[in-house]
Amino acid sequence: MAQSAAPVLALDGPSGAGKGTIGQICSLKFGWHYLDSGAIYRGLAWLAKNEGVLCDDIVSLVSLADSMELICHVCETDSATIEINGHVVTDELRTDEAGQLASGIAPIPEVRAALLSMQRRCRKAPGLVADGRDMGTTVFPDAPFKVFLTASAEIRAQRRFDQLKAKGFDVNLARLLESIQARDVRDSSRDASPLKPAEDALVLDTSELTIDEVVTRILTLVN
């Protein structure tokens, strides 16, 4: 199969909707590659912070993006491990601060353009599960399978809280809810590839669904 023809499951939606968990389960079930595009934005924001690059220095951000090497290892027992330029940065990227920093650089069109080919190169046989905000609209508009996962902000904040708490982070539910709501507004209102379902996406509200129920619906769609 030509690489460009490899099937893609585009999984989009706001923070905490379950894209990461569901995406990793689907990639293991299908034996497909997995792209955590949020980790790319988080990784670039983390690199910029470490290098003292400000979020309005577009030239330096693009140059950092061009030289960034990101590897994502998915395993059966835990969430994906992220490596940037040879350093494992999984925990640093998981924090709420990293999400906020990522959402600060994500509206810049030059940054999005610089990260586009890195994401498209992940489309390889036998297939790709791509998780993000614009997988079905901009990065893989021809993806044969598109799902937009959503859930109420309160439920998403609670899920993030449980996840971070289980990983040993010190978190506050009210602050997480505020942060998720602020990120929703920023991600949906930007001009460049805003967070929105593709016209041909299946929209799934996961507020009342278990992980297994969501996975079953997606398996039905793909099969």
H or E segment to which residue 120 belongs: helix 109-120
Contacts with ligand C5P, 133-152, as mask; x by CB under 6 A: xx------------------
Number of chain positions touching ligand C5P (CB under 6 A):
14
The pair of structure tokens assigned to 131 is 């998780």
The backbone torsions φ and ψ at residue 149, rounded to the nearest 5 degrees and listed phi first, read -95, 135
- Which token pair is 103? 């959402």
Task: Name the minimum Å distance from CB 180 to ligand C5P.
Answer: 9
In whole angstroms, what is the distance from residue 87 CA to residue 167 CA? 19
Q: Tell me the residue number closest to ligand C5P, measured at CB.
A: 38
Q: Does 156 bind ligand C5P (CB under 6 A)?
A: no
Q: Output phi, psi for 150, to 5 deg.
A: -140, 170
Q: Which of 9, 137, 150, 187 binds ligand C5P (CB under 6 A)?
A: 187
- What residues from 31 to 50 belong to the interface with ligand C5P (CB under 6 A)? 37-38, 41-42
Does residue 21 interact with ligand C5P by CB under 6 A? no
Q: Where are the alpha helices (DSSP H) in the chain?
A: 19-30, 37-51, 58-67, 90-94, 96-105, 109-120, 153-166, 173-189, 211-222
Residue 27 Cβ vs ligand C5P, minimum distance, rounded to whole Å: 15
Q: Which residues of this chain interact with ligand C5P, rule CB under 6 A?
A: 15, 37-38, 41-42, 99, 102-103, 106, 132-134, 183, 187
